Amino acid sequence: MNEKVICAGFGGQGVMSLGRLISYTGMRVGMEVSWLPSYGPEMRGGTANCHVIVSDTLVGSPVISHDATAVLALNYPSMVKFEHELIEGGYMFYNSSLIEEAPGRKGITAIAVPSNEIASEVGDLRVANMVMLGAYIAVCRPFTLEDVVEALREVFGPGKEKFIPLNETAIKRGIEVAEKAAVGS
């Protein structure tokens, strides 16, 4: 396995923590991982992104350049900016609650994930990133839902354990959406 994932969106949509959770879960299940954030003006608002690598061999360059296996785009500028970083046959997961048009890039698989709508339905817009994570693990299968929930339990610690059911529900809904999309395509 050599997953190279770009997570991108507005500052505040949780793309950094989404990427960190992918790295952390990868590390917990015994993979080699790296997480490289943008740290420019993005972190003060605007667009933010991080490059995440999960691999069964040592990570070489932590920079993803034209070899992303998946992009998780939470907003339109991110989708446009990063669709060309995907390899042929790569996956574009896009937040169809905010992005009205499918990606223009040919030769990739586009998966519409209404992250904001689902997050609102399950009770908190802030878990839109977890919906996206669910869609990603359903299609690319770097690890299982159980692996992610175990990782979340460690990341949150006992003090924030009460947030796990909400996050788990959001991830499950993301998995469902992606599985339906895969059947439909």
Partner 1 sequence: MDKVLMKGNEALCAAAIRGGCQFFFGYPITPQNEIPEYMSRELGRAGGTFLQAESEVAAINMVYGAAGAGARVMTSSSSPGIALKQEGISYICGAELPCVIVNISRGGPGLGGIQPSQADYFQATRGGGNGDYYLLVFAPANIQEAADLMIEAFDLADLYRMPVMILGDGMLGQMMEPVVFKERKPRDLPQKDWATTGTAGKRKPNIINSLRLDPAELENLNIRLQEKYAQLKANEVRYETHQTEDAELVFVAYGTSSRIVKNAVAVMRANGLKAGLIRPITLWPFPEQAFEELPDSLRALMSVELSHGQMIDDVKIAARGRWPVGFYGRSGGMIFTQQEIVEAGEKLLREVSHVSGV
Among 1, 11, 17, 32, binds partner 1 (CB under 8 A): 32
CA distances (Å), origin 163, targets 6, 22, 153: 25, 18, 9
- Residue 108 Cβ vs partner 1, minimum distance, rounded to whole Å: 19
User: Of residues 50-79, which lie at the interface with partner 1 (CB under 8 A)?
Assistant: 59-63, 65-66
Amino acid at 82: F
In the complex with partner 1, the residue whose CB is nearer, 27 or 166, is 27
- Residue 185 Cβ vs partner 1, minimum distance, rounded to whole Å: 31
Task: Give the 3-state secondary structure of 115-139.
Answer: HHHHHHHHCCHHHHHHHHHHHHHHH
146 neighbors 134 (Cβ within 8 angstroms): no
The tokens describing 145, both together, are 């839902």
Amino acid at 116: N
- Residue 184 Cβ vs partner 1, minimum distance, rounded to whole Å: 36
* Cα 123 to Cα 28: distance, rounded to the nearest angstrom: 29
Interface with partner 1 includes 23 (CB under 8 A)? Answer: yes
Among 5, 6, 15, 24, binds partner 1 (CB under 8 A): 24
- Residue 59 Cβ vs partner 1, minimum distance, rounded to whole Å: 7
* Contact residues for partner 1, defined by CB under 8 A: 20, 23-24, 27, 32-37, 39-40, 59-63, 65-66
